[in-house]
Structures are given as C-alpha cells and as structure tokens.
Amino acid sequence: MFELRTDYLEDLTPEMAISVLKDVREAAGAEVPVIVTCRDGREGGAIDYPETLRIAVLLAALGAGAQFVDVEYANFVKPDVRHKIEVQLAWNATCRLVLSAHDFNGTFDDLDRLYREIRAAHPQAVPKLVYTARHINDCFAALDLLHGCEGDAIVLCMGEAGLISRLLARKLGGLVTFASLDEASGTAPGQVTIGQFKDLYRHDSIDAETELFGVIADPVGHSLSPVIHNACFAEQLMNRLYLPLLVQGGRDELFAFLDGLQARPWLAFRGFSITIPHKHSLLEYVRTQGGNVEPLAEQIGAANTLILGSPATSHESQPAAYNTDYAGALDAITAAMGITRDGFCDMSIAVVGAGGVSRALVAGFTDAGAQVTIYNRTVERAEQLAADFGCAHAGLDALASLDARLVVNCTSIGMHPDVDHSPVPQEVLKPDMAVFDTVYNPAETLLLKQARAAGAQTIDGIAMFVNQAMAQFHLFTGAPGNPTLMRQVVLDSLR
C-alpha cells in the first residue's frame, strides 16, 4: 500500500494529484492500494493549502478510483465538507474513507471517546488516531484501543517513545502502519524506514501470536541487541520479535512500564535485555513481584535479563532476573584461553575500571578463586569494589608496573570515537599475558592491537557481547542461538 501525500506537492492542483496517482498506479500495479491524503497544515500538512483546494484534490482522487482518501475528522464534521465527500463516496463504492485526528503535542484528552465519535460519524470509515507519546508508557492507550476495537482502525503514536505502537500495529490487527521510503523522507516523527520494518523488525512474519522480547534502555537507539536477536529468530523461523524499548526516567517509570506489560498478557512480552540505567532497579522490581533473582546477580547487585515466563521457562510463573554479562565475559575468556572456570583459581587478574561491568566480572573471577587487583581512575570506587569482593586495588598510574596473567579493560577508554587511547601502557604488555577488552566498538581496540604486537593473547568485546546474547537467547527461547550469525551481524552493523 502507498500513501500519496499530495500536500508535499508544490503548486498542487486536482489534475496534478490525479496525474501522480496514475503514475503511482503504473509503477506499483493497479492492485496495490493507494491512500490519497492532502493533510491540513494544522494537523501536520507540509504545505498549508486552503481547505477548498484540499477537498477538491480528495474529491478528484475519489473520482479517479483511489482505494482510500484520508480526511481530517475535524474537517469532515463541517456540513459542507461532509456533504461533498459523502456524495462522491456514493458514486465510488470501492473507495473507503479514512477519518483522521492528530495531536503533535501529546496525548488526546480522551482517546476512547474520540474513537467512538469518529465511528459514529461515519461507521464505514476507518478511524485513524495518531498522537505523540512523550514516554513509552503513553503507548498503552493506543495498544489497548487497537486490541479492543472491532473493525478496521489505525492507532499510532508519534515520536521515538511511540515506536512500539508502529511496530506492533500488525500484531494487534491495525489496518496499516506507516513507514518511510528512506531515512530522509519520513512524514511524521518516529517513523522507521520500510527496509527496517521488513528486514530488522520482521514485519511480514508478524501475526497475533507473535511473542515479544526487547531491550529496555535509555538511550536505546545504538543497541545492537535487536539486530542479533531478530536475526536468530528469523534464522530459526521463530514467531518472535525483539524490539528496542526506550524507557526514560528511573525506577517509577520502569515499574510502570513492566506493570503495564504484565497487565496485558495479550501483548505476549516474554523476555527483556535490561541495560543503562535500569539494571539495579530491575532487581527491586523482581523482588517486589515475589520473583527469583539469580544468586550471582544478587551478589553483583545488577541484572541484565528479565524473563516473564515463556515456553522455555514455563515453570516460572513469577518474573526472574539473571545476569548474563559476567557469564558472557568469563566464557569468552575461558574459551580463548582453553580453560574451564576452575582455571581462574589463583590466577592473577588485573581488572581496569570499577563500574557496572567491572563489578560483574570481579564477582565472577573471585567466585572462581582468582587473585584480582582493581585499577580505577577514581580510586575510592576501586577501593569500595575491592572491599566488597576481597580484592586488591590501586589507581591507574599503578598500571605502569603491571604484572598479571590476565588483563581486562572494563573502562570505555578506546571505545569509538576515543580509538587512539588505551588504558594500559604499551611497555607492560607481555607474550605470556591474555588481554581482554570489553569494548566492542571497534572490535580491535588500541589496547588489543598493542597486546597482539607484544605477542599476548587477545580477546575482543564482541565475544562477550555475543556470549551474553547467546545466554539471553537461551533464556528467552530454550533453544541455542547461532554465535557465528550473531558475530557476523554485529560486525556488519559496526561497519
């Protein structure tokens, strides 16, 4: 289906609209439906054409056999507009009216009442209600309406926070959702491209039964999790979809979002990757729900995976939280070094950084009996982490005399665009060391380049990223993911 936005055409006339409609038909095939729209400037129209011209264009499109014409409900209720449209519709029985309402500033005062008014005004019309989500929690009203309404309807939320309403329209039976042809040609805030819809968000394979997963974060746009999980769902022909879920705010907003999802079992959200800034609040949420927190996640004080119950984990009726970061990192290291986790026992390990990832790795290393020293810019943070897990600590300057079997970078030093820096002085890197960098963009950081040049064994952050995603995929589905595909997808995305 195409939407022909005639309000974007300069020097518009009804004849021009018919001519472009004809061109679209010839290019796309007569069987491809076309919605003809000439949007009022007050509701987002590109060029603010007068009402007489806009209505003349729509009447001409109706007469030329457009399958749909979109009229703003606020204009349709004017008796003269309504009369003209209804007379022309009577002559073109195959054309359907779309009665639309838009709010570019926020939510409608009463979405359900507006929907009922539009239905009552012209029962054969397709109601189209589009408002702006300032927060993802604003989308629930749109999802509820689409889920509950009978007959064709279009209900969408604009803005980045409204993305799920666009991506889930098909699952919930919405007549259409809107995509742009490319990044530059969007006609409303928050639209994704047709390519992303089809390739990344698996639009053609979504139906009412599709189970949902997603990454909860703020910001979320940079996350590679949707590409890798959706690639694996597609490869295994699973009726599952993984979404970016922008949850802004803190604990209260996260709790409201998760409560909202749990109150709507028909959405079929089953599992989540959780990252900045919600990793700590997740534990509290799961505890308040009487759910299970994996013991090491409890010790780390953060979880990155939430399961709400799926075929893979049907024994869990309550939410469950896990931390796959530490296991992902440890498995990447043990696989590369050819050891089991027992091999960490008494190993001297230098961990650079004292943030969230560092905490997860230090918990894993000390759990396996390693001798860990934590180096950090803010020495007090290193001291606190060292005290929690019984390790040694020092400032970054002490790295000048570093001597360890395994060196791990858990800082963002070396991450794009800071690619010319390394947290570890080149001189201390030796052939008998293994060096692991959690940074995965770029895949080979300066630290890893210099370690390789020194003859040390190197392990990149993509290995950790893929491993933690593999562990999540297993928790989500009960099936193994494809690490080769995941790694390739990450490399392609970084390129």
Give min distance, CB of 416 to ligand NAP, in A.
9
Strand partners, 3: 35
Among 155, 157, 245, 170, which residue's Cα sits nearest to residue 203? Answer: 170
Give the shortest CB-400-to-ligand NAP separation in angstroms: 15
Q: Which is nearer to ligand NAP, 215 or 429 (CB)?
A: 215
Q: How far is the CB of 417 from ligand NAP (least distance, A)?
A: 12
Query: CA 456 from chain center: how many Å?
Result: 37
Q: To the nearest whole angstrom, how small is the minimum distance from the Cβ of residue 381 to ligand NAP?
A: 4
The set of long-range contacts for 16-23, using a CB threshold of 8 Å and a minimum separation of 24, is 17/57, 17/60, 17/61, 18/60, 18/61, 18/64, 21/61, 21/64, 21/66, 22/64
Provide CB contacts within 8 A for 485, sequence distance 6+: 228, 231, 232, 235
Q: What amino acid is encoded at 328 in this protein?
A: G
**Chain residue whose CB lies nearest ligand NAP:** 355
Summarize as ranges the residues that interact with ligand NAP (CB under 6 A). 353-358, 376-378, 381, 410-413, 415, 438-440, 461, 464-465, 468
Residues with catalytic annotation? Answer: 102, 128, 279, 325
Token pair listed for 491: 């490399």
Inter-residue contact 377 to 359 (CB < 8 Å): no
CB nearer to ligand NAP: give 175 or 357: 357
Q: Residue 33 burial by CB count (10 A; 0-12/13-18/19+): exposed, middle or buried?
A: middle
Which of 134, 381 has the CB closer to ligand NAP?
Answer: 381
